[in-house]
Structures are given as C-alpha cells and as structure tokens.
Amino acid sequence: MSLLPIVIAPDRRLKTPCKPVEQIDDSVRTLLQNMLETMYEAPGIGLAAPQVGSDRRVIVVDVAREGEDPRPHKMVNPTVTWASEEVILMNEGCLSLPEIFVDVERPDRIRVAYQDENAEAHEIEADGLFARCIQHEIDHLDGVLHVDYLSRIKRELTLRKLAKVKPELLREQAEKLGRQKAS
C-alpha cells in the first residue's frame, strides 16, 4: 500500500460532491487501505476520498486515542439516517486545511448506514468524537468544508491565509511522499 497526497484547500476537488460507489471492488478496497495509511501518517482521525483527489463516496475514521488499539472504520456510501436534537459546539481541524481550527455545532449522536469493504451493509450508532468525525467526513463527500460553517467574511479571510502558505505545505508533502517512495 502507499501514502496518498492530501489535497490542500483551496482546491475545487474539495467542493465537488462525490459519486456513490456502484460496485465495491479491489480498486475501492485499495483506495480505502491507502486512505487509512495516509490518515495515520498525517496524523489524523478521519479522511474522505476528495481529500486524496478521488470522487468516490468513501471515508475512513479511527478516533482511538494514542496508546489504544486502533479501531479503523472504512465506510462506503455512508449516510446519516438519524441525528439527535442535542448539538454540541466543538473545535474541529482538517487535514486539507492545516492549522485551521473552527468551532462547529453538530448533533452529538447519530446513526449511520454504510457498506464495508466487503460490500456488507451496516448501521451503527455513534456519539461524541466518533459521531463528529463521521459527520465531518460525510460533509467532505458533499463538498462541504468545516470553514463553510463560518460567516462569509471569516471564511474568505481564512482561505486567503491558507492560500498564502499552500505552496510551502505542498512542498513539504511532496518531500514526505518522496521519502516514502525512496524507502
């Protein structure tokens, strides 16, 4: 497996809704595994396909804390089927918007339906950080970024700031990927 380059905002691929996966085959399984490895290496707790340049509706999530056994979830075509009325305001980061943290209000508990990498259907309940991460990643599949919850002016200022440092971030990422290929 291999690490994938992470798409850094602003980039139109992050704003384009993804297409449902019609058939779960080896290419989807490989994408999911590469996304998981990329997420762990970043390090992050969630990653959606558009963040690695793919237009497929797939996400990976693992909110296990450092020192705990990994609990990876690979989700194909995830859909929130229920959300609690109770919402929580929490600070969120994003691998595609490095160093940009935004307070986002989200339901504290959700139920999500998805298929796993073997095309088996699941419906699980999630709460707390796990629920938040799933919702954040599903937003990516719909072309929504966490900064989209900001006012227009704050969002534009934030993205302008990120655009200034984007070339340096991409250079660092290319060096990291180059080191991986060399080893």
- Within a domain: residue 146? yes
The tokens of 99 are what?
Answer: 């160093």
- Within a domain: residue 2? no
Residue 26 has pLDDT above 70, yes or no: yes
- Within a domain: residue 94? yes
Domain span holding position 137: 12-182
CA distance 177 to 161: 25
CA distance 12 to 7: 10
Residue 152: count of CB within 10 angstroms of its CB:
8
The tokens of 142 are what?
Answer: 């719909």
- Within a domain: residue 3? no
The SS3 call for residue 159 is helix
Residue 58 phi, psi (nearest 5)? -135, 145
Residue 61 phi, psi (nearest 5)? -145, 140
Please answer whether residues 45 and 73 qualify as being in contact, where contact means their C-beta atoms are separated by less than 8 angstroms: no
Return all residues near 163 (Cβ < 8 A) that are at least 6 apart.
Answer: 10
Residue 181 has pLDDT above 70, yes or no: no
pLDDT digits (tens, 9 = 90+) for 12-22: 999 999 999 99
- Within a domain: residue 35? yes
The SS3 call for residue 163 is helix
CA distance 78 to 113: 6
22 flagged as catalytic: no
- Within a domain: residue 127? yes
Instruction: Give the domain CATH number at 154.
Output: 3.90.45.10
The mean pLDDT of the chain is 94
Please answer whether residues 177 and 3 qualify as being in contact, where contact means their C-beta atoms are separated by less than 8 angstroms: yes
Taking the model in full, what pTM does it have?
A: 0.92
Choosing from 85, 117, 137, 168, the catalytic residue is: 137
Return all residues near 144 (Cβ < 8 A) that are at least 6 apart.
Answer: none
pLDDT digits (tens, 9 = 90+) for 128-148: 999 999 999 999 999 999 999
CA distance 115 to 123: 9
- Within a domain: residue 50? yes
Residue 33 has pLDDT above 70, yes or no: yes
Number of folded domains that form the chain: 1
- Within a domain: residue 104? yes
Cis upstream peptide for 167 (omega within 30°):
no
